[in-house]
């Protein structure tokens, strides 16, 4: 039987997932951020359609303000997605380097 420090992981992906979760400290995964972006993009499309058919200047102003807010939210979520993706990739890279160095 191998000593604990030499034991091969039974499910390497689970170990990577656990390491990613630990590195993210409870934050969402990049895929989840991307899903939020996609949802906002769908909402943005609906508001853009409403804006195209709106004739009242007041309604158009409200819709444009909503579009501006959604664009800002999308930008923030994309930044979170990119940061999270970087962390996830760094953990995966570190795991692979360690795995390859252990043979």
Tens of pLDDT along 20-73? 999 999 999 999 999 999 999 999 999 999 999 999 999 999 999 999 999 999
Domain carrying residue 33 = 28-102
Choose the weakest-confidence range: 1-10, 13-22, 55-64.
1-10
- Please say whether the beta carbons of 35 and 74 come within 8 A: no
Number of domains forming the structure of the chain: 1
In a domain, 89, yes or no: yes
Q: Is residue 17 part of a domain?
A: no
**Amino acid 54: pLDDT:** 95
Is residue 19 in some structural domain? no
Instruction: Examine residue 22 and state whether it is found in any structural domain, yes or no.
Output: no
In a domain? residue 18 = no
Tokens of residue 72, six digits: 């800002």
| CA–CA dist 48, 41 (Å, integer) | 10
Count the Cβ atoms, other than its own, within 10 Å of residue 20: 19
> How many angstroms separate the CA atoms of 53 and 28, rounded?
37
Residue 5 lies in a domain: no
Q: Per the domain annotation, does 8 fall within a domain?
A: no
Answer whether residue 1 is part of any domain: no
């Amino acid at each position: 039987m191998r000593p604990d420090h030499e034991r091969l992981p039974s499910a390497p992906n689970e170990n990577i997932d656990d390491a990613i979760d630990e590195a993210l400290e409870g934050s969402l995964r990049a895929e989840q951020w991307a899903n939020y972006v996609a949802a906002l993009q769908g909402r943005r499309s609906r508001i853009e359609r409403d804006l195209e058919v709106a004739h009242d200047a007041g309604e158009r102003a409200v819709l444009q303000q909503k579009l501006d807010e959604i664009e800002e939210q999308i930008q923030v979520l994309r930044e979170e997605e990119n940061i999270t993706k970087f962390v996830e990739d760094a953990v995966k890279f570190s795991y692979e380097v360690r795995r390859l160095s252990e043979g």
